[in-house]
Amino acid sequence: MITVGVEEEYLLVDPATAVPAPVVAEVRRAAGLGPFAEGAEIQDELLQAQIEVATPVCWSLDEVGGHLLRLRHAVAAAAETSGVRVAATGAAPLRGGLPVPVTPAPRYLRMERAARRLVDEQLICGMHVHVGIPDPQTGVAVLNRIRGWLPTLLAMSANSPLWDRRDTGFASWRTIIFGRWPVSGPPPPFDGVCDYEGRLEQLVESGVIADRGQVYWQARLSDRYPTVEVRCLDVQLCADDAVMFAGIVRGLVATAIAEEKAGMPLPEVPPELAQAANWHAARHGLAGTLLDPLGRPHRSGDVLYALLRHVTPALGDAGDLRGVSGLVHRLLHRGTPAERQRRALDETGMPGLIGLLTGADASQ
Give the DSSP letter string of 291-316: E-TTS-EEEHHHHHHHHHHHHHHHHH
Quote the Cα angle for 292-227-258, to 5°.
55
Query: How does DSSP classify residue 134?
Result: S
- Residue 97 confidence (pLDDT): 83
Alpha carbons within 13 angstroms on the beta-carbon side of residue 316 total 6
- Residue 360 confidence (pLDDT): 63
**DSSP helix/strand/coil, 217:** strand
State the average pLDDT for the chain. 95
With beta carbons less than 8 A apart as the criterion, state whether 313 and 167 touch: no
List, in sequence order, every residue forming a beta bridge with 12; answer none if it has no partner: 86
- Residue 34 confidence (pLDDT): 63
Residue 308 CB coordination number (10 Å): 17
- Residue 301 confidence (pLDDT): 95
CATH entry, 4-335, from 3.30.590.20, 3.40.50.10540, 3.30.230.10, 3.80.10.10: 3.30.590.20
Cα–Cα distance for residue pair 42/52, rounded to 1 Å = 6
37 has a pLDDT exceeding 80: no
What type of residue is 209?
Answer: I
84 has a pLDDT exceeding 80: yes
- Residue 358 confidence (pLDDT): 94
- Residue 359 confidence (pLDDT): 87
Cα–Cα distance for residue pair 231/233, rounded to 1 Å = 6
- Which residue in 248, 221, 212, 223 sits closest to 233, CA to CA? 248
Q: How far apart are the first and last CA of the chain?
A: 35
Contact partners, residue 179, CB within 8 Å, separation at least 6: 185
Question: What share of the chain in percent tops pLDDT 70?
Answer: 97
Alpha carbons within 13 angstroms on the beta-carbon side of residue 315 total 22
With beta carbons less than 8 A apart as the criterion, state whether 128 and 249 touch: no
pLDDT tens for each residue of 221-237: 999 999 999 999 999 99
pLDDT band at 98 (very low <50, low <70, confident <90, very high): confident
Q: What is the pTM assigned to this prediction?
A: 0.96
- Residue 364 confidence (pLDDT): 52
pLDDT tens for each residue of 285-308: 999 999 999 999 999 999 999 999
pLDDT tens for each residue of 102-133: 999 999 999 999 999 999 999 999 999 999 99
pLDDT band at 33 (very low <50, low <70, confident <90, very high): low
Query: How does DSSP classify residue 206?
Result: T
95 has a pLDDT exceeding 60: yes
- Residue 31 confidence (pLDDT): 79
Cα–Cα distance for residue pair 168/165, rounded to 1 Å = 9
With beta carbons less than 8 A apart as the criterion, state whether 137 and 193 touch: yes
Cα–Cα distance for residue pair 7/53, rounded to 1 Å = 6
Query: How does DSSP classify residue 102?
Result: B
- Residue 123 confidence (pLDDT): 97
Mean per-residue pLDDT, 269-288: 96
328: alpha, beta or left, given left = phi > 0 and alpha = psi -120 to 50? alpha
DSSP notation for 272-297: HHHHHHHHHHHHHTTSSEEE-TTS-E
189 has a pLDDT exceeding 90: yes
- Residue 361 confidence (pLDDT): 56
pLDDT band at 267 (very low <50, low <70, confident <90, very high): confident
Using alpha carbons, list the distances in angstroms from residue 186 to 32, 149, 217, 273, 320: 34, 10, 6, 10, 27
pLDDT band at 158 (very low <50, low <70, confident <90, very high): very high
Mean per-residue pLDDT, 157-183: 97
Query: How does DSSP classify residue 17?
Result: T
**DSSP helix/strand/coil, 133:** coil
- Residue 30 confidence (pLDDT): 85
Give the residue with greater pLDDT, 319 vs 362: 319
Mode of pairing for the β-strands spanning 4-13 and 50-54:
antiparallel
pLDDT band at 1 (very low <50, low <70, confident <90, very high): confident
pLDDT tens for each residue of 199-257: 999 999 999 999 999 999 999 999 999 999 999 999 999 999 999 999 999 999 999 99
Cα–Cα distance for residue pair 304/132, rounded to 1 Å = 24
| Residue boundaries of the structural domains of the chain | 4-335
Mean per-residue pLDDT, 161-176: 96
